[in-house]
Amino acid sequence: MEFRLTAEQELFKRTLREYCEKNIEPIAREVDEKHEGIPDEILEGLAELGVLGITFPAAYGGTAPEGEELTYANIAVQEIARADLSMSIPVYVLLQLGWATLVGRHGTEELKQELLPNVAAGKWFVGIATTEPGGGSDVANIQSNAVQKDGKFILNGEKVYISGVCETTEQRDGGHLTLFRTDPEAGHKGMTFAYVPARSKGITTTLFDDIGRGGLSTGGLNYKDVELPESYVLGEVNRGFYMNMEGFNVARTLVASACVGAAEKALEIGRDHVTNRVLFGKPLAKFEGISFEIAEDWSKLFQLKLLLQYTSWMIDTFYKEPGSFTHRDISEVVSMCKLEAPLLSVEIVKHAMMYMGAQGYTKEVPLGMALRGLMSYVVGAEGGSNIQKLIIAREYIGDVAVPYR
């Protein structure tokens, strides 16, 4: 068992930290406040470093050493989140990395050729479209549907709160891996998961005015007789629910990576402040009310970082050695990461803000925008906290608590 990063992984992390501190940190607030998306030069820079193709094979422009995809992606997302606490850029990257993993694993040759090189180059965005107006948590109850006709699917329905709507229509190109019904009588066993280009004929969009993550848009996608080639289906027709869940395992891990990266930076901001701020004749760090809280936060964050390293390794091993773990083994641990990371990161940011007093409440520090960005993952993006608890309870307690679908 090896817990250290390899020399190559360390180098990747160091190089990326330097890049992010120099290029992303100085513009993070502007990106958050302007609401105009992520500047091209940032995506080009990340593409040059190989970050945007880190989870898929070299044959499609990918860059990760085989078998270490998630380990590298976890490092990358943590580093980007340290530099952009608004979460706009880390979320953009983590969504791409997460959902492109699935395309690399289960997409047809045609889809991989079309999509992945453009994703790796930072030109196209690929995201996820599961949530509908009837509720995001109850995935098995979605209503969007498609019929198969003349070698195509004809899709109708509506998705809401979808990240990357402007990015795939106005700012760049690309689309979303989308869940829809293909056998209405078969419940969750009658769903299909397919790539839907956002510029397809028959799609109209709406936008939500989110309180955070201002550099990344969230909107709705309405489908009216949208034609999709069969080659856009991931895996098998009517097995889409399970395909979507496999993708959630990867994406939720990277969500936790983003929260952990932001929390690490916030904790450092708080630590530096209490080290230097002198009150009542001594640095704030001398007061145990503060230093003990920082010790507790660091201890919890350190445990979470290790859990994430383990989870990334587990997913890498699952893909490298089929049969080594089941999807359910993985989803239990992934849900622990997704449950803990958003809540802990919000707590840490709040603590750091409080150490800074009034200054913590100003835009001189990135803590306010961190709080707004991180809350997206507390309220529900990529699955709310209670949904993670349902998954953990299902695996640990068993069917009596939560039956497996």
Q: What angle do CA 88, 144, 215 make, to 5 degrees?
A: 10
- Lookup: tokens for 303: 């445990």
Phi, psi of 132 (to 5 degrees): -130, 165
Residue identified by tokens 């492109």 is 100
Smallest distance, ligand FAD to C-beta of residue 306, A = 26
**In 10 A of CB 272, how many CB atoms?**
14
* Closest to ligand FAD by CB, 278 or 379: 379
Whether 92 contacts 52, CB under 8 Å: no
Shorter beta-carbon distance to ligand FAD: residue 279 or 379? 379
Q: What are phi and psi of 164, to 5 degrees?
A: 90, 30
Does 90 participate in binding ligand FAD (rule CB under 6 A)?
A: no
- How far is residue 222 from each of residues 115, 158, 163, measured CA to CA in Å? 22, 4, 14
Give the Cα separation of 223 and 204 in Å (integer).
7
- Pairing of β 173-181 and β 124-129: parallel
Q: Which stretch binds ligand FAD (CB under 6 A): 159-167, 279-287, 312-320, 325-333?
A: 159-167
Phi-psi region of 282 (alpha: psi -120 to 50; beta: other; left: phi over 0): beta
Is 381 a binding residue for ligand FAD by CB under 6 A? The answer is yes
Q: Is residue 130 part of the contact set for ligand FAD (CB under 6 A)?
A: yes
Q: How far is the CB of 138 from ligand FAD (least distance, A)?
A: 6
28 vs 160 by CB, closer to ligand FAD: 160
**Least distance to ligand FAD from the beta carbon of 355, Å?**
27
Options 48-56, 105-113, 298-306, 384-392: segment touching ligand FAD (CB under 6 A): 384-392
| List 386, 397, 398, 405, residue binding ligand FAD (CB under 6 A) | 386
Which positions from 187 to 226 touch ligand FAD by CB under 6 A, shown as an x/- string?
-----------------------x--x----x--------
Query: Of 138, 249, 225, whose CA–CA distance to 187 is shortest?
Result: 138
What one-character DSSP code corresponds to residue 239? B
Binding footprint of ligand FAD, residue count (CB under 6 A): 24
Instruction: Give me 321's structure tokens.
Output: 């050695």
Instruction: Report residue 295 CA to chain centroid gap.
Output: 28
State which of residues 162, 191, 234, 333 lies at the interface with ligand FAD (CB under 6 A): 162
If the CB atoms of residues 176 and 273 are measured against ligand FAD, the closer one turns out to be 176
Q: Which of 61, 90, 136, 368 is the binder for ligand FAD (CB under 6 A)?
A: 136
Whose CB is nearest to ligand FAD? 136
Footprint of ligand FAD (CB under 6 A): 127-131, 135-137, 161-163, 210, 213, 218, 376, 379-387
